[in-house]
Structure 1
């Protein structure tokens, strides 16, 4: 287990050829939202007190891509290049804990717009908004003809070809159905809509993550359960909500991903209090039972509290990253669902496996 000490941070702005600048030594704040939907990975980043020349380069759209690497240092050397010029790419294999390190890429995306601003008389900033796979989601079109006898895998391959000009590649992909379609098909449609159809046929959720099209089946996960406690970065106590899962805050850990698993001590979850109205309207019928390995509150007319996992294993449904390289903030706020809970509406949840790319 690596230790959470000595923050690691790299911010890279690059052009379409991979050349650009590193802003790793500047004051930077960032807010990144990642939900389990296709249009989800949005980042707002502020870089402070740059020279007018550098400001103009950023505002002049010289840079089109942004990559952010964060976590905590270990015995490994940093990933990336702190000099002007070609930035060393970070592959999917570089993300996560290796040889004692606990940092990795937590975001990459297309720069959507940039503006300048001022916090006070002395501190100026450039604000950058980025969206992961923004150009591919807007511009990729599947324009092809599939011959009779095509499969879902053939349709998926054609869709990946439409994403390729935007630098988006195939990522995590589960098994495809073996259905053979007897008639040919002419397709001229936005690639993201075709992916909606493919993922529905595969019983999966899809989205673009760090330039990869990930399609994770509903009975699989992106990573094994990572234990969170006070020694491994858990901050405060997890909070049960009324029907919206369990909220968890921890220090930034790039190994934890949406559609992955975390493991908590279920006795540490701070339980949600029922309202007086719910108690009065229940007529004394409120009870807590075990259902599919989870604690479930019954007998409430309104939205009940989210299920609590008796084994402590939860599925990460969303992550909000908040960081300040000169301040205290260095957190991940996650909304998680108990594995196998009724809220997921997936009967095979307890049999889920880990899928690798």
Structure 2
């Protein structure tokens, strides 16, 4: 057995009873979009190559309803049984994601919504799957009940959570709820997701179903402590400061990094960008970045209009700690891609972001 850091990958297709097959030994391409909005995480595509006709028909049909991807890196390369390469294996029910002592874990779990077959060339066929995390609960969960006067926002959260139990959704990250009580009773009737939107607005948070949990994360909180990213821990290239959305970071797939979690960068490694021509023309004095409470911002001195002070470099954090607001994961089990592309912002920043960024982050 040789010692080496290698990629770890598992692709599991499951039926409603949690029984299924493991397709980890096949060539697979995938892309997962995970943004800080009140919408489910989505697997844009998962392409599995050169499956048998029977397996293909089972996927296209109604045999499997859920899909899971476990990925990252293993510390030890296992012995490979050549006879098992490229075969369909049953799912081991005892293996369900993060493993102790290993840097791999669940990066996607969701409901299969669409599957088609195709061919890249005369010899390579594929099945393409598109899936959404928590889709069944998001689309089908409804509520019809009444709360008496004196209920709190946490009471409302708990009844919504109980209403999601039939869809196997449990409580995940939750905010600190205000203690005020409603002076009137309330009738709940409609989609559960609409009432979750209301709670999230009052808590200045966003919510999602993630791996079977309801996560509701306020904008000023993080779901995990800072994970250091550098050339020795998976950072690829130099983080890039942007005009309106913080800092763009690329690293190798790391399941420990989650949406609304923290990462720590070497501030000197961030590639700083220049001002646009319009900002230079608008400035009447020399432009010097200002530091306030650990946040580095750039403003145009003596700008004549609001429009002239917009489209400036995003704020940076002097301590190098950023909140992850968007993650795109791309992988190819037989190719180069094995990346997480993240859009991050400095803590406590007050930047005004563009409409395209708002669609991704819900800011």
- Do they fold alike, i.e. is TM over 0.5? yes
Aligned residue in 1 for 2:31: 31
Aligned residue in 1 for 2:98: 95
Aligned residue in 2 for 1:348: none
Aligned residue in 1 for 2:83: none
Q: 1: CA distance between counterparts of 2:281 and 2:149?
A: 63
Q: Deviations over 1:191-226 (max 9, x none)?
A: 111001112222322111112100122332101000
SS at match of 1:197: helix
- In the alignment, structure 2 segments of 5+ residues that lack a partner are 79-87, 301-307, 354-363
1:66-81 matched pairs, under 5 angstroms: 66-74=67-75
Q: Deviations over 1:165-198 (max 9, x none)?
A: 2222221112222122232211102111100111
Q: 1: CA distance between counterparts of 2:150 and 2:313?
A: 48
Aligned residue in 2 for 1:217: 218
SS at match of 1:47: strand
Work out whether residues 19 and 85 of structure 1, in 8 Å CA contact, stay in contact via their aligned partners in 2. yes
Alpha-carbon deviation of 1:86? Answer: 5.9
SS at match of 1:74: strand
Q: Deviations over 1:107-133 (max 9, x none)?
A: 101111101111111111000000111
Q: Deviations over 1:140-175 (max 9, x none)?
A: 011111122222122111111221222222211122
Aligned residue in 2 for 1:335: 343
- In the alignment, structure 1 segments of 5+ residues that lack a partner are 346-357
* Residues 1:139 and 1:246: Cα distance change in structure 2 (over 3 Å): same
Alpha-carbon deviation of 1:314? Answer: 0.4
Aligned residue in 1 for 2:164: 163
Q: 2: CA distance between counterparts of 1:204 and 1:84?
A: 40
* Residues 1:305 and 1:126: Cα distance change in structure 2 (over 3 Å): same
Aligned residue in 1 for 2:235: 234
Q: 2: CA distance between counterparts of 1:312 and 1:136?
A: 37
Q: How many residues align?
A: 334
Alpha-carbon deviation of 1:334? Answer: 0.2
Aligned residue in 1 for 2:356: none
Work out whether residues 10 and 70 of structure 1, in 8 Å CA contact, stay in contact via their aligned partners in 2. yes
Q: 2: CA distance between counterparts of 1:4 and 1:227?
A: 22
* Residues 1:244 and 1:288: Cα distance change in structure 2 (over 3 Å): same
* Residues 1:277 and 1:185: Cα distance change in structure 2 (over 3 Å): closer
Work out whether residues 177 and 201 of structure 1, in 8 Å CA contact, stay in contact via their aligned partners in 2. no
Using the TM superposition, name which of 54-63 and 159-168 deviates more: 159-168
Q: Deviations over 1:58-95 (max 9, x none)?
A: 00021111110000003699xxxx832563352xxx53
Aligned residue in 1 for 2:81: none
Using the TM superposition, name which of 278-287 and 256-265 deviates more: 278-287
Aligned residue in 1 for 2:22: 22
Q: 1: CA distance between counterparts of 2:227 and 2:12?
A: 28
Q: 2: CA distance between counterparts of 1:163 and 1:339?
A: 32
Q: 2: CA distance between counterparts of 1:68 and 1:38?
A: 22
Q: 1: CA distance between counterparts of 2:29 and 2:46?
A: 6
1:33-72 matched pairs, under 5 angstroms: 33-43=33-43, 44-72=45-73
Q: 2: CA distance between counterparts of 1:190 and 1:89?
A: 34
Normalising to structure 1: TM-score of the pair? 0.89
Using the TM superposition, name which of 256-265 and 279-288 deviates more: 279-288
